Structure 1
Amino acid sequence: MNDDDPEYDEETGLNLFLRLGAPWLVQKTGCPDVDTYLSGGVAKGKLTEFVGNIASGKTQLCLSLITNQLIDDEKEQKIVYIDTNGSFRSSRLLQMLKSRGIQDENIAKRMLERVFISRTYDEKDLRAVLSDIQVVQNLALVVIDSIGAALAFTAWGYFDGGRKVQDEIIAILRYMAHHGCAIVTTNHFVYWRGEPSPSLGKRWIKAVDFRYLLFKLSDSNCYMQIIAPKRHKAIDDKVFYKISKKGIDSLTNESHVVQTQYTEAVMTQNWNTIKQIYAQND
């Protein structure tokens, strides 16, 4: 190729439609601001991870995805929620459904019957559950909350069988994603050579297609920030949201938005400030 020739980036048809925000390829959260930031929602056929500190809204975001899927999906597809830390509450999911307009409790309970909950404690449990559900038909969404807790041993014993386990689990997740399922995981930060990084090491980090930082500001206000896939650094652009009875919700009061942005600017002038805050909370 001549040096003067233009350069082109390869792009699959799936990635093209995702970039254009094709509605049939995304799972929406129901929060307009966040869905816009996510280019329409969480991508089907991909692995998406939300990483952040405790109480940053990771579980609430996952429950919002489930709630919106239950309400909007005319095909009545199934959802699997793999709970590794005891954070799932069916009462909270019912509250979100009612807050989003499903007032008939019988209808809400029928919707909840499409959500299958599995409590897992380690990598063996997780591998067994994933092996079972990969053959489930009509599966729309799989949530693992949190992958960092379930696979903690694989990071500690990476060269003692941990990598093999990670490879097996990644292969199953990619298989399900390839068949049109949206895969969502939550994770936490660890420090490696003074830098914050999603837990579980490079193998897992590279396996995830889209990763977002969630950060709690004050009260119920939070923001989301893209983590660049190649450099694994947070990109400056952010979206602000709050946690309400609906789940994650847009900040509608303009002055509230301004105050939240001001608070965020003071707390996180740059990525180094974020690192210091996480270090203090470890």
Structure 2
Amino acid sequence: MAARLLKRTGVSSEICERLKRQQIESCKDLLSLTTIEVMQAAGLSYQQTSVLLQTVSKAVAPPVTTALDLWKQNSDSCFSTSLPALDKLLRGGLPCGTITEVTGPSGCGKTQMCLMLSVLATMPKSEGGLDRSVIYIDTESAFSAERLVEIAQSRFPDYFSCKERVLQMAGRVHLFRELTCDDVVHRLEKLEEDIISKGAGLIILDSVASVVRKEFDTTLPGILMHRTNLLGHKASILKYLAHQFNIPVILTNQITTHLGDRECASSARADSGYVTAALGNTWSHSVNTRLIVQYVNAHQRQILIAKSSVAPFAVLNYTIKKQGICIDGNDNQETLYEGTDPGLQPIRVRTEFTSSLTGPVD
């Protein structure tokens, strides 16, 4: 990956220090220069510079692999969600080494899912966890440490019965609040070092759409292409990290309204259009697995498997309780549905509101 630091490619510390004084720290910084510029910056001969460039180029080039290698690596490489019905459909859980996106309307449980998975990742493997730390990138200031602890103690009361385990769990969730596109990109480009130093086994970005949609007005000329390039850069970094460390990456996404008619979306749209995942159809191909969370009515919600390399299109009803996401019914309940292009899959939003007020309102 071009953003990898030179000190992670086998280049000697002495040369790294020389180049750092010239603001050359990443593989991209070095490989963007001509041979002569590298010779001058590093103080090396032509032959030494050629060896340096070859070393760095090999470090960022995709390795050659075989289908057998991939099969051995991924045959038993899933992260359980602690939701047996969902894990069964996904053949074990969320696939490691890939990107899983959870998208849906506000209040439907996307952050609740992220908090629940964060707790799970810190738990021992004997308890269904990863026994690793979590890197949690929060772009909406939606992270709640109180809710994290509440989910842990309510979902796994036996394991988190003692305060020491609760504190250990909370201490392994490393939170980064990044509220601009530049901050998010900067964090992602340095994430490789954080994964290694913190022993992370799960990356969460909640949400990928928030800062992008605030900063880019796609009605202006050229802005859409700029936004697409930025999202592609983010996706490439996250895919590299997921594959390089064989860890799951979880993203949340928002929703948007598409104007116009769509026959298959008749039950999920108003007359003026239909609601679907934000960031467009191109982005939908950047994620490996897409889970849609949506409203059925004012109280009931659903998880839809809209995109997966192993699971069928399926839907599971769920509710949000003190212990987090809870699948309704027994663990074997599932309903197959007729899916569409995941980038255009219509999403149900909440269209009615209830009030607990019993008296008149002035």
The two structures share one fold, judged by TM-score above 0.5 = yes
**Paired residue type of 2:182:** K
What residue is the counterpart of 1:72 in the other structure?
A: 124
Counterpart Cα distance in 2 of 1:91 and 1:275 = 33
1:105 equivalent in alignment to 2:163? yes
What residue is the counterpart of 1:190 in the other structure?
A: 256
Query: 1:13: how far off?
Result: 5.5
What residue is the counterpart of 2:172 in the other structure?
A: 114
Query: 1:132: how far off?
Result: 2.0
Match of 1:249 among 309, 315, 326: 326
Contact 1:55 1:216 in 2 (8 A): no
1:145 equivalent in alignment to 2:209? no
1:165 equivalent in alignment to 2:242? no
Match of 2:187 among 119, 122, 129: 129
1:43 equivalent in alignment to 2:104? no
1:30 is paired with a residue of what secondary structure?
coil
Work out the number of aligned pairs and report it: 254
1:151 is paired with a residue of what secondary structure?
helix
> Given the two structures, how large is their TM-score scaled by the length of structure 1?
0.76
1:208 equivalent in alignment to 2:274? no
Contact 2:257 2:275 in 1 (8 A): yes
Identity of aligned residues (%): 22
Counterpart Cα distance in 2 of 1:276 and 1:162 = 23
CA deviation string 1:197-238 (max 9, x = no partner): 3212233221111111111335664211121479xxxx7621
- How do 1:168-179 and structure 2 match up within 5 A? 168-179=233-244
Gaps (5+ residues) in structure 2? 1-65, 261-273, 353-362
CA deviation string 1:81-125 (max 9, x = no partner): 111112110111111111112111222111111111111212111
Contact 2:78 2:92 in 1 (8 A): yes
> Given the two structures, how large is their TM-score scaled by the length of structure 2?
0.61
Contact 2:97 2:248 in 1 (8 A): yes
- Greater mean deviation of Cα atoms: 176-185 or 193-202: 193-202
**Structure number having the greater strand percentage:** 1
Match of 2:136 among 81, 104, 113: 81
Greater relative contact order (Cα 8 A, min sep 6): structure 1 or 2?
Answer: 1
Counterpart Cα distance in 1 of 2:294 and 2:284 = 19
Contact 2:102 2:291 in 1 (8 A): yes
Contact 1:57 1:216 in 2 (8 A): no
1:249 is paired with a residue of what secondary structure?
strand
Contact 1:216 1:222 in 2 (8 A): yes
1:30 equivalent in alignment to 2:91? no
Contact 1:42 1:182 in 2 (8 A): yes
Shift in alpha-carbon separation, 1:117–1:129, aligned structure 2, 3 A: same
RMSD value, Cα: 3.5
The structure having more radius of gyration, on CA atoms, is 2
Contact 1:67 1:93 in 2 (8 A): yes
2:209 is paired with a residue of what secondary structure?
helix
- Greater mean deviation of Cα atoms: 169-178 or 195-204: 195-204
Counterpart Cα distance in 2 of 1:205 and 1:155 = 20
**Paired residue type of 1:164:** N
**Paired residue type of 1:139:** A
Contact 1:96 1:246 in 2 (8 A): yes
Contact 1:57 1:222 in 2 (8 A): no
Counterpart Cα distance in 1 of 2:318 and 2:147 = 18
1:52 equivalent in alignment to 2:104? yes
